Homo-oligomer: A and B are copies of this chain.
Amino acid sequence: MNLPSKILEEAVEQLSSLPGVGKRSALRYALFLMNEEEAKVHDLSESLMRLKTHLHHCRHCHNVSDTEVCPICSSEKRQRGIVCVVENVQDVMAVENTQQYRGLYHVLGGVISPIDGIGVHDVEIDSLIRRVQTGDPYPVEEVILALPTTMEGDTTNYYINKQLQPLGVKVTTLARGVAVGDSLEYADEITLGRSIMHRIPFEG
């Protein structure tokens, strides 16, 4: 792309480093900002910096938080003996939105993926094991594995489960099956298979 200005070029370069943003979108964003009021661009730019300077990972569950311990971990209304293990912050938000879960979380920040060079110590597995071992901040009775059903997710599940077995904690995983409202005809075989295998008593 032949940009008419070095400053514009630099902004496009920087913006296109965002995930899923190409040069064309980056240029659109840059030209849009150029025509915005200075105060607005200043706010945006400050707000991005604050992501680095003021945003933390919760000391216990590693979810993002404005405070050292996140509101979920410090809430007295949650079932503190249950820990749901998820890959990332978005997954916490997805589970929270169901309003069906009252336990705590543990955000791994990724899953084991040797191809991408992500080993067991690059994600927050050690801290999860320690959390169960020491009962700090709260004793853990059940660990729910809610990782993606990919090879990497399965590998991570397997590794975590192996580490947790000796500790005598209950390990569960999410029920998988045909989505509510979906017709069987269009469900893939693996999903439908699981729905049948893990069938539950009918509540009439």
The residues of B that contact A54 with a CB separation of less than 8 Å are: 7
The residues of B that contact A55 with a CB separation of less than 8 Å are: 5, 7-8, 34
Q: Which of A62-70, A120-128, A142-150 contacts B (4 or more CB under 8 A)?
A: A62-70
Judge whether B65 and A51 touch: CB under 8 Å: no
Given A18-B29, A19-B28, A31-B64 in contact, is the A50-B11 Cβ separation under 8 Å?
A: yes
Q: Which of A74-106 contact B (CB under 8 A)?
A: 88-90, 92-93, 96-97
The residues of B that contact A13 with a CB separation of less than 8 Å are: 47
Judge whether A33 and B6 touch: CB under 8 Å: no
Tier of interface size on chain A: 35 or more
Judge whether B51 and A4 touch: CB under 8 Å: no
Closest B residue by C-beta to A24: B90
A4 to B92, CA, bound (A): 9
Judge whether B51 and A8 touch: CB under 8 Å: yes
What is the predominant secondary structure among interface residues of chain A facing chain B? helix
A19 to B14, CA, bound (A): 17
Of A3, A47, A63, most buried by chain B (CB within 10 Å of CB) is: A47
A42 to B53, CA, bound (A): 10
Name the contact of A19 in the complex, choosing from B8, B17, B32, B52 (C-beta under 8 A).
B32
Judge whether A8 and B64 touch: CB under 8 Å: yes
Of A15, A28, A55, most buried by chain B (CB within 10 Å of CB) is: A55
**Chain A residues proximal to chain B, CB less than 8 Å:** 1-8, 10-11, 13-15, 17-21, 25, 27-34, 36, 38, 40-55, 63-66, 70-72, 88-90, 92-93, 96-97
